[in-house]
Amino acid sequence: MIIIMHDNAKKEEISAVEEKLTKFGFLTHPIYGEKKTVIGAIGDKRQISMNEILLMSGVEKVVPIMRPYKLASKELKQEKSVIDVGYGVTIGGKKLAVFAGPCAVEGREHFLKMSRLVKDAGANILRGGAFKPRTSPYSFGGLEGEGLKIMREAGDELGMPICTEVMDTRDVELVAEYADIIQIGARNMQNFKLLREVGKCNKPIFLKRGLASTIEEWLMAAEYIMSEGNDRVILCERGIRTYETSTRNTFDVSAIPVTQELTHLPIIADPSHATGNYKYVGAVAKAGIAAGADGIMVEVHDCPECAASDGPQSLKPDKFTELMEELRRIAAAIGREI
């Protein structure tokens, strides 16, 4: 339920409400607005009557949250969340986030080179995989710890946040030590233990939509993370499995406005994994931004034919630079900027 406090409710009144809810086993989540404070309370409603809370001093209204996801829901928080990911970069505000880099970290020299190139083109967040989820056990699985160190070096040199995937609960601590943003890949969107684990760490989480997940399942995955106390979740639409085989996945463009209606969390479009083909990446990136996404994640590689993973969908640096130019114009037309 949501407890809406009166304008200018006193601090003691707010804490009294929180204390009472905690006593009855609720997890409380206060949101301090300019005038009003709203308290999200998640727990077993049978433990306490809404009336009992309503009668407390400073309380204006008590309303139930109807959606199955609570902390992620717009019912609880109407204004969009703007997530600080470090190095002066925020996601969800006027400025768009551009995550770019190779699919996998392949080596130090290569990653540093790619990072400098994408930064010059206008990217503000570096991406790269150190732990790679591969369909085949014989494919390159990533440089793991070594890859994390390389990414950190690039991030430090260029003053940019780095985003990388974690696949196993046992690696969360290590990845959190190096990364500014921790990615949960599509294949792990419903790995509930992993979601809980990253929910306990103090880093923003980049939550990709599962290969065959509904928007509600995706928001429930966000709720798992948030229920552990981490409310810095960034959603990423990366295409879903459909019967269409001409692209790797099908980019669900309407998922962007739909999620924005349901949640306050920011959403990023990933045209690379959505299409699986560099030829379509630009069009889908533009569609994502035009539809209102808070940014894009794009795979960039200087030699797609020699890439260790996802070469066919990687943009060469000059194509990425051109795309950024086009995106700047679209961003300006819709009141955003890059």
Please report, to the nearest 10 degrees, the dihedral formed by the alpha carbons of residues 302, 307, 310, 316 taken in order: 10
Is position 208 an interface residue for ligand PEP (rule: CB under 6 A)?
A: yes
DSSP string for residues in 98-133: EEEE-SB---HHHHHHHHHHHHHHT--EEE-BSS--
Show the binding pattern over residues 291-310: x = contacts Mn ion (CB under 5 A), - = does not. -------------------x
Figure out which of the listed residues 70, 77, 119, 238 binds ligand PEP, where binding follows CB under 6 A.
Answer: 238
31-44 burial, b at 16+ Cβ within 10 Å, e below that, comes to beeeeebbbbbbbe
Binding span for Mn ion by CB under 5 A among 76-84, 85-93, 100-108, 177-185: 100-108
Nearer CB in complex with ligand PEP: 78/139: 139
Binding span for ligand PEP by CB under 6 A among 90-98, 105-113, 138-146, 180-188: 180-188
Picked from ligand PEP, Mn ion, none, the partner binding residue 102 (CB below 5 to 8 A depending on kind) is none
Is position 273 an interface residue for ligand PEP (rule: CB under 6 A)?
A: yes
38 forms beta bridges with 4, 31
Nearer CB in complex with Mn ion: 48/104: 104
Is position 292 an interface residue for ligand PEP (rule: CB under 6 A)?
A: no
For the chain, how big is the Rg over CA atoms in Å?
Answer: 21
Figure out which of the listed residues 1, 5, 103, 255 binds Mn ion, where binding follows CB under 5 A.
Answer: 103
Residue 205 phi, psi dihedral angles, 5° rounding = -115, 130
Picked from Mn ion, ligand PEP, none, the partner binding residue 185 (CB below 5 to 8 A depending on kind) is ligand PEP
Q: Are strands 162-165 and 2-5 parallel, antiparallel or unpaired?
A: unpaired
Residue ranges in 46-75 that form contacts with ligand PEP under rule CB under 6 A: none
Token pair recorded at residue 312: 């066919």
CB-count burial class (<10 Å; 0-12, 13-18, 19+) for 329: exposed
Binding site for ligand PEP (CB under 6 A): 103, 129, 133, 185-187, 208, 238, 273
